[in-house]
Amino acid sequence: MRLKIHGYFLVALILLVALSGYGEEEVRVFSLQPDIWEAPRNDVFLRFNMSLQQVASSLTEMTVCSRVFQTAFTKLQVFLSYATAEKFANAIMMYIVDDAHFFRYNNKPQKPIESVKLPMALQQWRHYCHVLSGDTYTVYVDGKALASGPIEVNDRVLPLNGTFIIGQEQDGLSRRMDSQQIIKGYVTQISVWNYGIGESDVAAMADCKRLLHGNIFSSDRDDVELLNANESSVPLSDLCSRDENFIVFPEVRTFSESVQMCGLVGLMMYGPTNRQRAKEVNNTLHSQKFCGYKENVWLGLTDKQEEGTWRRLSDGKIVTDIIWTVGQPDNTRIENCIIEDGVTGNCNDYNCFDNEKACVPCEESQHAHLYLRGMCVEMKTETMFETRGYVRNKPYFHGFYGFMIFKSADTQWVLYDTVSNETLALLDLATSNLYPLGRHTWQLLEPMCDKAADTMTEMSLSACGEKHYMCDSGQCIDVEARCDAKDDCDDETDEDNCSILEVPEGYRSFKPPKNAEEPGNPLEPDVLFQFVRFLEIDDVLEAIQLEFVIQLTWMETRFKYYNLDEDMYANMMSAGNINQTWRPSLKFPNIKGGDLNLLEENLFVKKISDPLPVNFNTVDMSQVYAGTAAVIVQSQHYSGSFNCKFDVFYYPLDAQDCKVLVQLASVSKELVSFASNKSNVTVDQQADISTYIVDRFVVKANEDDKYRESRLQVKFTLTRRYLLIMLSVYLPSAMLLAVGYCTLFVRLEKLDVRLSVSLTTLLVLYTFFSQTSSSLPKTAYVKMIDVWFFFCTFLLFFIIMIHVVVEVLDDGKVFYIAPSRGKFRRPHMSPNSVLIFTRLVAVPVSVFVFSCVYWAMMLV
């Protein structure tokens, strides 16, 4: 029984040991020229003869995985190359060019991976897996499937009698290596399976949770031949650990200056997550003899958000494990920053805006890159740098492809190429505390960018990406803030050289541009005719006074444009630019007596598409637009009077068709021509006037071919507002007519009253008629308003004549002769009967018949 218990205990102990050691399993790590200061060589790689494996002679499915840590890049970064014959050197090949990833199977590129674009990063482990299973190829990076698609291959069978080369490309069977087709850094966990492994296994390997060995090949199991490479063993978990790293700038600065310094290299101030990390900062200061005798350092921690709760500036995480000096922190609201004492390592809270100065550690980031512009390299990634260790107690800048920028003397900095072992350029700064960040003029020691040695060239080093503009100091601002009339750069250089266009050499301002959309056809500018105000309409002179804006828009492909704003009106050309630019001249043939005033003229540039891709070699990071990416808008503001042929026959129910004629001056319509389909008209809300409604706008171009220059007609209709005229003309005249009619009801003996009222009414009506006629243009035809007044005048005259006749009848001097029973007699007519007939029959019937006919003609 005791033996049985001991046996169980022994088994449990073995299991416990096994489980406790599972996460500490070690892997073989191979170093392949990891020294960033060493020039790449073509004789450093790993080799394995596949004919030594005993699993299979060939395969039709496979999985290839590896983990890589790169310290520098080369033109062609080959992780793995498998050759089966002299002429079949790329049976399997995993490689990177710039930021594009590639994979070949049986010498056939697999297209899905070509869409994989990953940010370039050094000094970090990346796990890659390529799975060919069934008819599908899938690529995994760091455990995530990034691309998948059909396998592109003619023959699925891959013989396993060749040679694996790790870290180089073999142009022949295990020979003809190239120093620019290598891996600089470390590789581990290279495995090959003759089947497709599952997604969960890939993720477990990438996360360092499982160590799987390929059944065809495993670098942790099989004997690999090391050619000038080294080997070590590390715990598997170390490959997935993320250490906190920092770089110290040894000059003392205020807190705000420290934040700015880290920002210039694309980093944040370092905030240790615990006291051990804080101690590492203190140790670095002592070992490097940084920051003078005090050796104090700012930490990237603040309690500004909540008093007493300290958070990292970089990610906002709360930090509680801080060693404070006795009595600190004193919870003063204005003391929201921390300085670590260089002697004791204890922390004190400080006012962030005091003039206290200390060193600054900046937190290293895998995603923080600097760019050296002005070298004329082939790939953008060749301009990428990162801030690394120290040379002469100053941080140096490590280029991804072997370039180095470091301090070589008190104020001198060097641009050095580790590939060619050559010093390319020198930079002398004003003081030893300055860094080569921003825009500087370097002295070339080797030819560069078509410039000879011993000449000067401009280069810039900054963290500014494609969406930034770099100030001369190296500060990065949003590219849209360039030339926005506000000083966004601390050195105010974002508002320098703000001309928005570049006129090419040989440009002729008298020559119109060509039609970019339809080559061979004349230029057809877009026209926008905007009525601002209708100032006055003169019916007598038949003229209309207008205020309007005419905008002509065309494309000038001969220009280049810079730093265009989304708002067209912010891109106004200067007077100098206007004088250099071809622009159409206009004249207006139907202007009234030459009365035309140009109130304002401006030229704008309106962008219609995106700028050109940023040239990674160009120091000036301004946005550049091709001539086809923008259009020129000429805006001219006029006021003037125009002839308008009035037809007032139906006044006041008339509508006048008017037009403004616009003609291009001094340019044939074979070169520049208006087009109806590219012309529009708009009207401001205040354009209507009190006496007319303006509507029915029509734009037509080149209706008459007899002119040499192109013409544009802007037609519109003036519809008179008749209600006021009805009330001021027709109603008063009708009331006067009613007054005259009422005299027919006055007693017979009141002749003087009847005649005086009737005559007065007639005279008033005639005066009213004269005033109305004077406000209308003189015409050779009778107008409907004339007919109205003629009728009213005639009717009043008729009433007056009736009064005279009635008076004569009342005296017995007039007889009415009428036939009666075949004989004539002379009856005496009654004055009352005449009046009754006139007021009940003659006048009402006349008015009714006339009104029906008149208004039928007016309204139909």
The CA–CA distances, whole Å, from 656 to 375, 575, 647, 652, 713 equal: 70, 41, 7, 11, 15
**Least confident segment among 208-212, 330-334, 369-373, 852-856:** 330-334
pLDDT at 174: 54
Q: Calculate the CA dihedral of residues 403, 408, 414, 416 and round it to 10 degrees.
A: -30
The CA–CA distances, whole Å, from 771 to 102, 692, 719, 735, 768 equal: 93, 20, 22, 17, 5
Expressed in angstroms, the distance from the first to the final Cα of the chain is 126
Six-digit token string for 576? 């100098």
Query: How far is it, in rounded angstroms, from Cα 483 to Cα 494?
Result: 6
**Span 400-430, pLDDT tens digits:** 999 999 999 888 999 999 999 999 999 999 9
Average pLDDT over residues 690-714: 86
pLDDT at 172: 61
**Span 126-139, pLDDT tens digits:** 999 999 998 899 99
CATH architecture of 246-363: Roll (3.10)
Per-position DSSP letters for 512-574, written without gaps between them: PPP-SSSTTSPB--EEEEEEEEEEEEETTTTEEEEEEEEEEEE--TT-EEES--SSGGGSBPP
pLDDT at 388: 86
pLDDT at 829: 66
The CATH homologous superfamily to which domain 526-719 belongs is: Neurotransmitter-gated ion-channel ligand-binding domain (2.70.170.10)
Query: How far is it, in rounded angstroms, from Cα 214 to Cα 225?
Result: 18
Average pLDDT over residues 760-787: 87
Q: Where are the domains of the chain?
A: 28-240, 246-363, 370-463, 526-719, 723-859
Average pLDDT over residues 620-629: 92
Backbone dihedral angles phi then psi of residue 198, each to the nearest 5 degrees: -80, 165
Q: What's the one-letter identity of residue 515?
A: N
**Span 11-42, pLDDT tens digits:** 343 333 343 444 468 999 999 999 999 999 98
Highest mean pLDDT among 288-302, 462-476, 764-778 belongs to 462-476
pLDDT of 856 strictly over 50: yes
Query: How far is it, in rounded angstroms, from Cα 48 to Cα 59?
Result: 17
Query: How far is it, in rounded angstroms, from Cα 126 to Cα 141?
Result: 7
Query: How far is it, in rounded angstroms, from Cα 63 to Cα 476?
Result: 44
pLDDT of 290 strictly over 80: no
Closest listed residue to residue 179, CA positions, set 10, 419, 521, 424: 419
Interstrand relation of 268-269 and 468-470 (parallel, antiparallel or unpaired): unpaired
Average pLDDT over residues 301-317: 90
Average pLDDT over residues 92-118: 84
Element (H, E) at 7: helix 2-22
**Least confident segment among 38-47, 148-157, 219-228:** 148-157
Q: Calculate the CA dihedral of residues 23, 27, 32, 34 and round it to 10 degrees.
A: 30
pLDDT of 536 strictly over 90: no
CATH architecture of 28-240: Sandwich (2.60)
Query: How far is it, in rounded angstroms, from Cα 551 to Cα 603?
Result: 9
Please, which pLDDT band fits residue 9 given cuts at 50, 70 and 90? Answer: very low
Please, which pLDDT band fits residue 284 given cuts at 50, 70 and 90? Answer: confident
Percent of the chain residues past pLDDT 90, beyond the cut: 45
Asked whether 47 and 58 are in contact (CB, 8 A), the reply is no
pLDDT of 860 strictly over 80: no
pLDDT at 153: 83
pLDDT at 723: 85
Q: Calculate the CA dihedral of residues 762, 766, 767, 771 and round it to 10 degrees.
A: 150
Closest listed residue to residue 352, CA positions, set 490, 257, 231: 257
User: Residue 243 in 3-state DSSP?
Assistant: coil
Please list, in sequence order, all residues whose beta carbon lies within 8 angstroms of the beta carbon of residue 595, skipping any fewer than 6 positions away.
640, 641
pLDDT of 827 strictly over 60: no
pLDDT of 594 strictly over 70: yes
Please list, in sequence order, all residues whose beta carbon lies within 8 angstroms of the beta carbon of residue 124, skipping any fewer than 6 positions away.
69, 366
**Span 427-447, pLDDT tens digits:** 999 998 899 999 999 999 999
Asked whether 709 and 667 are in contact (CB, 8 A), the reply is yes
**Span 230-278, pLDDT tens digits:** 999 999 999 998 777 899 998 889 999 999 999 999 999 999 999 888 8
Asked whether 628 and 554 are in contact (CB, 8 A), the reply is no
Mean pLDDT of the chain: 86
Interstrand relation of 679-683 and 526-538 (parallel, antiparallel or unpaired): parallel
Average pLDDT over residues 788-810: 87
pLDDT at 525: 94
**Least confident segment among 355-369, 377-391, 546-560, 605-619:** 355-369
**Span 71-98, pLDDT tens digits:** 999 888 888 888 886 556 678 888 888 8
| Residue with tokens 């390299």, as numbered in its chain | 377
CATH class of 723-859: mainly alpha
Please list, in sequence order, all residues whose beta carbon lies within 8 angstroms of the beta carbon of residue 585, skipping any fewer than 6 positions away.
664, 665, 666, 667
pLDDT at 429: 94
The CA–CA distances, whole Å, from 828 to 202, 606, 765, 807, 815 equal: 133, 94, 35, 14, 6
Query: How far is it, in rounded angstroms, from Cα 5 to Cα 11?
Result: 10
Q: Spell out where 611-691 has E strands.
A: 624-625, 630-643, 655-665, 679-683
Higher-confidence position of 824 and 157: 157
pLDDT of 511 strictly over 70: yes
Beta bridge partners of 700: 713
Higher-confidence position of 831 and 557: 557
